[in-house]
Amino acid sequence: MDYTQLTPFPRGFLWGASTSAYQVEGAWNEDGKGPSVVDLHIHRAEGISDFTVAADHYHRYREDVSLFAELGLKAYRFSIAWTRIVPDGDGEVNPAGVAFYHRLIDELLSHGIEPIVTLYHFDLPAALDDRGGWSDPATIEAFARYAGILFDEYGDKVTTWLTINEQNMMILHGKAIGTTGRSGQADQRTIYQQNHHMFLAAARAMALCHEVLPGAKIGPAPNIVSVYAASPAPEDVLAADDWDAIRNLMYLDVAVRGTYHPLAWAYLTERGIAPKLREGDAETLAAGRPDFIAFNYYSTQTVGASRGDASDIQHRGGDQQIVRGEVGVYRAAKNEHLPTNAFGWEIDPVGFRTTMRRLWDRYRLPLIITENGSGAFDELVDGVVHDPYRIDYLRRHIEQIRLAISDGVDVFGYCPWSAMDLVSTHQGISKRYGFIHVDRTETDLRGLERSRKDSFHWYRGVIAVNGLDLG
Ligand code: BG6
């Protein structure tokens, strides 16, 4: 629907930006930090930067936070590295790691920037992985304990928490992201048992947060996108519904309602990969309720009915590591209405609005976008990055937030990916997302100097007028 008058962004809207610990911090083995599965990412492609130095934020966080303040951020969404706090996942607490996040949070607060903390963003402690990782229910206990440590330490400073970043992407694309650890890729039954254990861990963290920090809010942070049918053929629409349930709604139904989405459960049962539920699991899931839904949005997906053969399968933008389509469930289709970015990802701002509307319609919980952006090959020319493509992408997505707000959706914050350049999950530092350029290449660390991109100045202007003028 078109509007003659749009509803403004609410006062106090959280204009923010995002990062994750292992992609930005570096110092991967300093001050007592233990290794995580992504530090050891054994399936990383040749010639791609590892995470040992990343953007060196661990050593330069003061300079970075002062740039975030200049940018005008109201919120900064980042993750805490489990392995800095508890190096082996469930043993001794590492005081130096705890102290680092106190310094970072204090720095943010001193600039009036609200910290939004993700408990766990892909970086499971390698020591836990060695003992079975998420296959072992002991990891649920380790996570609940770790969450409790964070609530105790930072609970008087942090009021907005996120449980697990993109659990659905870890389940669907774990090998590419590097979260499957040394096992490489387990069978589907094991993967969905791990999924179930992560659901329990997140539910425990939500219940604990409410118990010990009554003033705080907590929610999940999956990757959620509208799924379109490739055509109006009823079979395509049915396949889109199925895939929506398996890819998106399973994760939100368990988090919000404490139960598996029936279609998703039917899929798991039909394939013989349904997790085993232990006594007490249903009660644990029911006891963990979110206060809001955080979600990451990059692009939509278009699917058709399965043809029952290999033609169902595609690779996103030719990326051999990201498989789409599943024989007997759905066929991956290209959406001819959407342009793609340099990495073959479809760009769909309107799909962002439909995603927000669907989430609000189904769950009626306030929404915050914790990632949104487009990877690009930036060029530093005479010390400056001109990135009109980034501005264009973000502007067109912010426009859709305002439209969704006008549609009646409760959206309270927007944290694009990423606050500053960082190392992509599996495509290196050359794939950039930040407002702040970090001078390094895949193989040459250069000086790691920071500089403001054109998008930095643009986003600063947007925040200054609370999104009323998008430039
Ligand atoms: C999300 C992750 O999947 O997308 C981030 O939460 C990630 O960690 C981002 O970096 C962009 O993906 P990529 O593969 O381009 O780094």
- For a mutational test of ligand 1's pocket, the pick from 51, 124, 378, 424, i.e. the residue with the most ligand atoms closer than 8 A to its C-beta, is 424
Assess whether 371 carries a catalytic annotation: yes
Ligand 1 centroid – CA 398 distance (Å): 19
Q: Using the atom order of ligand 1, give the atom closest to the CA of residue 20.
A: 8
Atom 5, ligand 1: residue with shortest CA distance: 425
- For a mutational test of ligand 1's pocket, the pick from 417, 431, 432, i.e. the residue with the most ligand atoms closer than 8 A to its C-beta, is 417
Ligand 1 centroid – CA 418 distance (Å): 9
Residue 297 main-chain phi, psi, to 5 deg: -135, 125
Q: Is 164 helix (H, G, I), strand (E, B) or coil?
A: strand
Q: Please tell me the pTM assigned to this model.
A: 0.97
Among the listed residues 25, 107, 326, 371, the single catalytic one is 371
Atom 15, ligand 1: residue with shortest CA distance: 424
Ligand 1 centroid – CA 425 distance (Å): 5
Burial 321-344 (b: 16+ CB within 10 A, else e): ebbbbbeebbbbbebeebeebebe
Please give the domain boundaries of the chain with CATH numbers for all domains.
14-230+289-300+348-464 (3.20.20.80)
Residue 126 main-chain phi, psi, to 5 deg: -60, -30
Q: Using the atom order of ligand 1, give the atom closest to the CA of residue 417.
A: 9
List of residues 6+ apart from 97 with CB closer than 8 A: 31, 32, 33, 81, 83, 84, 85, 87
Q: Using the atom order of ligand 1, give the atom closest to the CA of residue 424.
A: 16
For residue 6, what is the DSSP state?
P
Q: pLDDT of the chain along its 471 residues, tens only? A: 889 999 999 999 999 999 999 999 999 999 999 999 999 876 677 888 999 999 999 999 999 999 999 999 999 999 999 999 999 999 999 999 999 999 999 999 999 999 999 999 999 999 999 999 999 999 999 999 999 999 999 999 999 999 999 999 999 999 888 888 777 778 999 999 999 999 999 999 999 999 999 999 999 999 999 999 999 999 999 999 999 999 999 999 999 999 999 999 999 999 999 999 999 999 999 999 999 999 999 999 999 999 999 999 998 877 778 889 999 999 999 999 999 999 999 999 999 999 999 999 999 999 999 999 999 999 999 999 999 999 999 999 999 999 999 999 999 999 999 999 999 998 999 999 999 999 999 999 999 999 999 999 999 999 999 999 998
Ligand 1 centroid – CA 94 distance (Å): 28
CA distance 471 to 469: 6
Q: Using the atom order of ligand 1, give the atom closest to the CA of residue 422.
A: 10
Looking only at Cα atoms, what is the longest distance across the chain?
Answer: 63
Atom 7, ligand 1: residue with shortest CA distance: 425
Residue from 268, 386, 368 nearest 12 by CA: 368
Among the listed residues 166, 279, 283, 326, the single catalytic one is 166
Ligand 1 is surrounded, with C-beta below 6 A, by 20, 23, 165-166, 169, 223, 296, 371, 375, 417, 424-427, 431
What pLDDT does 360 receive?
A: 98
| Cis before 18? omega within 30 | no
- For a mutational test of ligand 1's pocket, the pick from 371, 374, 421, 442, i.e. the residue with the most ligand atoms closer than 8 A to its C-beta, is 371
Q: Using the atom order of ligand 1, give the atom closest to the CA of residue 298.
A: 4
Half-sphere exposure of residue 157: CA atoms within 13 angstroms, side-chain side: 18
For residue 341, what is the DSSP state?
-
Ligand 1 centroid – CA 3 distance (Å): 33
Q: Using the atom order of ligand 1, give the atom closest to the CA of residue 425.
A: 16
Ligand 1 centroid – CA 54 distance (Å): 14
